Every structure is written in C-alpha cells, then in structure tokens.
A and B are shown apart, each in its own frame.
Chain A
C-alpha cells in the first residue's frame, strides 16, 4: 500500500501516525502482528532505517510490543486504541483550527463551515 508523505514533516512521525490510524480504523485489530520492518518499508517506500525508527517510537509509546524472534504486535488494549482515536482527532482539529484562523473568517462563515463538515462526515 503506497503512502504519500508530507516532506515538510518528519517521516518517521508520519509512519507512527499512519500505523495508529490503521489501528483506529480497525485495519489492524488489537494484537495483530505488523509486517516486518523491511516489508513495511517496502510497502510505504521509505528507508528501512526510518521504518525501524518509527517502530521503536511506537514501542516506546506502548502502542506496539516487540517480542523477540516473533515480531511486533499492536497493543491488545482496546482502551489504548480508543485513546489514540481521540488523540488523532485532537491533532486534526488543531490543524484545522490553525488553518481557519489564518483566514480570519466572520462568525457566520465559520458556522457554515462547521455545518458543511458535519454534513460531509455524516454522509461517509
């Protein structure tokens, strides 16, 4: 699965976010074994060393666990994954708020945007 990176932000952090997103969306269920660093690096077209750094970060974060000789596994704790869903939503909100602030919109325009967002999200 190819993945588009934003070259302006650290790539290993974008991989960390992507793995968390996949778990949040249910693409990786709790306890799922992740592909090896090499396979994941090939799938995402990144340097295997960068991938290994992302795995280390996920492990340090407690989001994945690496068992020697067996591989890396997504946390079994559903709560941890739920917490991440909220964390990722907060990040998305903050980015959105920053982008909207820069435009200096009137209150009415902001309300319309919020209605549009609700409608778009509900339709998905």
Chain B
C-alpha cells in the first residue's frame, strides 16, 4: 500500500504539490491524471525517491521512501534516461547491474513483444521506440511498484497500443502496483481502475474509475475536462 499524507513540495517560490494525501492499495493500476504542471512528475519523483518532499509523509509498503523502497520500485521518468551511443542490448546490460532480480529471459520476451532490435543504436530509435524501451526496462525485473511518468506522450499510436498491450501482458496481478501519469486520458480509459485527478498541485478528484463513470454517466476523459483543466 502507498500512503501519502499532507505532502507538499516547493521549488523556490513554486508550490508544485500542496497538502496531497492519498492511499493506494497494492495491486491496483492507477492513473494520475493532470495537465502539464499539475504536479504529476513531482509526485512520481518523490515516490521514486529521487526528490525529497518539503513536508509531509510518504510510506510505500510500510517503508519510508529510501534505499529499501527504491529496491522494489521501477521508475520510468518522463525524460529519456538512456545513452544514445549505446546499443539497445548494451543499455539493458548496463541497467541490469542495478537490479539483482533482473531477468534476461524476460528481456528477450519483452524486446520481441515491443518489436525492438537489440543491436539498434539508441540514438537512432524513434521516440516511440525509446518509449517502448522504457517499458522493457520497467518490466525486466519483478518490481512491486511501477511508476510510469507520461509513457504515452508524444509518441505514435501504434507505439501507444504496444505499450498498453505490454502492460496487460506483463502486469503481475495482485502483486504489482502500477501508477501511470498522463494527460492523454482517452488512451488509458480501459487501462486504469482508479484515478487521481491533479490540478495545480492539489487533488481535484479521486476514486474508482467505473464508479465515477456510473455516478456521472461520463467517460474519464469528460470528467478530466470538467475537473482538471
């Protein structure tokens, strides 16, 4: 379970997150939905342990964010984290050093599923292919928490479909908790079961996706336009 209490983050004069509190049960696939600048990436960085909160509490599976939580968290930042001069297989080999449970057989399966050539140079991959490579890195080992920050932004629709398909295929039911941030709500309607709408660093609305549809008779996309834009 992820528990966040009164979390705030300030960068100089900007308040990126304002008193955010939330609870996410283990095994859920949750959408963090908001426009650019709503605080999604800041929240992910704090959960991933790469940025410190200004105030507030965060616990992941009963641990404060730190070395222990980083060891079971797979974080895919929005920026491209790869080295352009490396080949796909070299990059994955490099990453494998950081994860004791890295699974080379799983990597081969994922490369095939994502349609990536292991000997291609990263610098020559399209944005969509680089986004797919992030998915390979994320599911190459059995993490307990996957944080995908804007995995679908700025990439071609076939790559989006591949990424969403991989999620359904690779997601370990009941064990893995997956958080996906995006402003492309229509792309994740069938993917996410819980939603947290962020606006200006605050939670505008949160709940069960199907229950919100039932109550409002609207799609998540329409609810998003109503509450978070």
- How far does the Cβ of A73 sit from chain B's closest Cβ, in whole Å? 20
Report Cα–Cα, A7/B31, bound state, in Å. Answer: 15
A7 and B210 in contact, given A38-B173, A50-B193 (Cβ under 8 angstroms):
no
Contact check: which of B169, B189, B214, B218 meets A42 at CB < 8 Å? B169
Bound-complex Cα distance A5 to B213 (A)? 12
| Complex contacts, A11 vs chain B, CB 8 Å | 189-190, 209-210, 213
Interface of A is mostly: helix
In the complex, which residue of chain A has the Cβ closest to the Cβ of B190? Answer: A46
Q: Which residues of A contact B218 (CB under 8 A)?
A: 8
Check A45–B190 contact: CB distance below 8 A: yes
In contact, B27 and A8 (Cβ under 8 angstroms): no
Q: Which of B171-216 contact A (CB under 8 A)?
A: 171, 173, 186, 189-193, 209-211, 213-214
Do A48 and B190 touch (CB < 8 A)? no
Of B28, B210, B221, the residue contacting A10 (CB under 8 A) is: B210
8 Å CB interface, A30-63 against B: 37-38, 41-42, 45-50, 52-53
Query: Quick check: A8 and B222 within 8 Å, CB to CB?
Result: yes
- Are B173 and A37 in contact (CB-based, < 8 A)? yes
Q: Which B residues are in CB contact (< 8 Å) with A41? A: 168
* Smallest Cβ-Cβ distance to A46: which chain B residue: B190
Among residues of B, the one whose C-beta sits closest to the C-beta of A52 is: B173
Give the residues in chain A near B27, CB-CB below 8 Å. 49
CB distance from A117 to the nearest CB of B (A): 26
Contact A8 B191 (CB under 8 A): no
B210→A5 contact, CB < 8 A: no
Report the count of interface residues on B (CB-CB < 8 A). Answer: 26
Kindly state the separation between the CA atoms of A46 and B173 in the bound complex, as whole angstroms.
Answer: 13
The distance in angstroms between the C-alpha atoms of A7 and B221, with both chains bound, is 8
Return the contact of A7 from the options B29, B168, B220 (Cβ within 8 A).
B220
Residues A10 and B214 in contact in the complex (CB < 8 Å), given A37-B173, A38-B173: yes
- How distant is the Cα of A47 from the Cα of B178 in the complex, in angstroms? 11
Per the 8 Å Cβ criterion, residues 45-91 of A in contact with B are 45-50, 52-53
B165 surroundings in chain A (CB, below 8 A)? 42, 45
| Chain A: minimal CB distance from B32 (Å) | 15
Q: Which of A7, A47, A48, A53 has the most CB atoms of chain B within a 10 A radius of its CB?
A: A47
A5 touches B189 (CB 8 A): yes
Within 8 Å CB of A46, what residues of B? 168, 190-191
Q: Is A9 an interface position by the 8 A CB rule?
A: yes
Q: How far is the CA of A12 from the CA of B213 in the complex (A)?
A: 11
Q: A8-B219, A37-B173 are in contact. Are A47 and B210 (CB under 8 A)?
A: no
Q: How close is B143's CB to chain A, nearest CB, in angstroms?
A: 17
Contacts of A8 in B (CB 8 A): 213, 217-219, 222
List residues of chain A with CB under 8 Å of any chain B CB.
Answer: 5, 7-13, 37-38, 41-42, 45-50, 52-53
Q: Which 8 residue pairs of A and B lie closest in terms of their CB atoms, listed nearest first?
A: A7-B219, A10-B210, A7-B189, A46-B190, A10-B213, A8-B219, A10-B214, A48-B173
Would you mind naming 28 contact pairs between A and B with Cβ atoms under 8 Å apart?
A5-B189, A5-B190, A7-B186, A7-B189, A7-B213, A7-B221, A9-B213, A9-B214, A9-B217, A10-B210, A10-B214, A11-B189, A12-B210, A13-B210, A13-B214, A42-B168, A45-B165, A45-B168, A46-B190, A46-B191, A47-B168, A47-B190, A47-B193, A48-B171, A49-B28, A49-B173, A52-B173, A53-B210
